[in-house]
Amino acid sequence: MKEKNPETHGEIIPDSGPQGEDGVLVELRNAGKSYGNIRALHGVDLQVRPSQVTCVLGDNGAGKSTLIKIISGLHQHTEGEFLVDGAPVRFSSPRDALDKGIATVYQDLATVPLMPVWRNFFLGSEMTKGPWPVRRLDIERMKRTADHELREMGIVLNDLEQPIGTLSGGQRQCVAIARAVYFGARVLILDEPTAALGVKQSGVVLKYIAAARDRGLGVIFITHNPHHAYMVGDHFSVLRLGTMELSASRAQVSLEELTNHMAGGAELAALKHELSQVSGVDVKGLPEREDLTAPLAAGGPEGKA
């Protein structure tokens, strides 16, 4: 992963990610995914360590969703390596990922709207009691646990029997995150958890991310909001057109740079020059190419220029 990489037309800088004491939980090495002849993702390196938040940023279509689908077991990578605890893996279903302690909170929250809140909370991992063939759901315990966990999140519901489809987007988000954390995930993948939320509820979610990190979880936080990312992130990876444009630790990158990269980075600087030709457009505040000092992965658009 540190050598010259033909797939990305250039050199990948050494991964200077946070070097923790603990081993790497999840690692992608030069991984990629093609759908037929469409390359959604290629040459991606990513490391997730305990007690750290790895932020994956990128614009729409940058490959963020593909990346988490590989890690969460919905899709399989077609190039490179995917390691969990140092051993190569290939998940055939999300169940495999869950069994390895990798839990995902999806953008669409993976809830079933017509089912009650508590059934959604425990869906796929139901508590049961009694011997087979009369093994049955332990409804009391599930309701009590769901209620307790949701209160921890600051969500108090009148009625856990109400269909989850009747909750607000923020409430559903919290149910989904509380669910993932409760089920003892070692690695928590959050797919744009703050995208649909208001300012206050985003704050709640960010606190929960920090709390999960403090518990020793490795968190992969997918977002397109650099402000949210910078608040909790330890390591930042910016995806662009299916490949890594930036991979830097918190010490190596400032919020401003991160924002610039997210906004289009070097491309934006070029756009500035074009805009300066158009009268009436003020370009003074826009970044120059030289402002971008953080280590670049050379696979981005400027590599091809």
Partner 1 sequence: MKTPPASGPRQADGRTGQRSLLVKILARPEVGVFLGAVAVYVFFLIAAPPVRDGSSMANILYQSSTLGIVTIPVALLMIGGEFDLSAGVGVITSALTASMLAYQLTLNVWVGVIAALVVSLAIGFFNGWMVVKTGLPSFLVTLGTFLILQGVNLAVTKLVTGNVATDDISDMDGFDQARKVFASSFDIGGVQVKITVFWWLLFAIIATWVLMRTKYGNWTFAVGGNQDSARAVGVPVAFTKISLFMLVGFGAWFVGMHQLFSFNTVQSGEGVGQELIYISGAVIGGCLLTGGFGTAIGPVFGAFMFGMVQQGIVYAGWNPDWFKAFLGVMLLGAVLINLWVQRTMTRR
Stretch that binds partner 1, among 14-22, 113-121, 227-235, 243-251 (CB under 8 A): 113-121
Q: Does 110 bind partner 1 (CB under 8 A)?
A: yes
Contacts of 80 (CB under 8 A, 6+ apart): 28, 29, 30, 31, 32, 43, 44
Member of 16, 19, 93, 276 binding partner 1 (CB under 8 A):
93
Q: Does 65 bind partner 1 (CB under 8 A)?
A: no
Member of 14, 23, 113, 216 binding partner 1 (CB under 8 A):
113
Q: Does 104 bind partner 1 (CB under 8 A)?
A: yes
What string marks each residue from 201 to 220 as x (binds partner 1 by CB under 8 A) or -?
x-xx--xx--x---x-----
Q: Does 126 bind partner 1 (CB under 8 A)?
A: yes
- What minimum distance in Å lies between the beta carbon of 125 and partner 1? 7
**Which is closer to partner 1, CB of 38 or CB of 156?**
156
Give, in order, the Cα–Cα distances in Å from 76 to each of 31, 33, 156, 305: 10, 7, 38, 31
Member of 98, 219, 244, 258 binding partner 1 (CB under 8 A):
98
Stretch that binds partner 1, among 35-43, 156-164, 234-242, 256-264 (CB under 8 A): 156-164
Q: Does 136 bind partner 1 (CB under 8 A)?
A: yes
Q: Does 154 bind partner 1 (CB under 8 A)?
A: yes
Q: Does 81 bind partner 1 (CB under 8 A)?
A: no
How many binding residues for partner 1 (CB under 8 A)? 50
Member of 4, 14, 35, 112 binding partner 1 (CB under 8 A):
112
Member of 37, 60, 92, 158 binding partner 1 (CB under 8 A):
158
- What minimum distance in Å lies between the beta carbon of 50 and partner 1? 16
Q: Does 76 bind partner 1 (CB under 8 A)?
A: no
Please state whether beta strands 128-129 and 136-137 pair in parallel, antiparallel, or not at all (unpaired). Answer: antiparallel
The answer to whether the beta carbons of residues 222 and 191 sit under 8 Å apart is yes
Please state whether beta strands 79-84 and 87-88 pair in parallel, antiparallel, or not at all (unpaired). Answer: antiparallel
Hunting for tokens 């909370």 — which residue is that? 121
* Cα(34)–Cα(31) distance, integer angstroms: 10
Q: Does 47 bind partner 1 (CB under 8 A)?
A: no
* Cα(225)–Cα(259) distance, integer angstroms: 8
Binding site for partner 1 (CB under 8 A): 72, 74, 93-95, 98, 104, 106, 108-115, 119, 122-126, 128, 135-137, 139, 151-159, 162-163, 165-166, 168, 174, 200-201, 203-204, 207-208, 211, 215
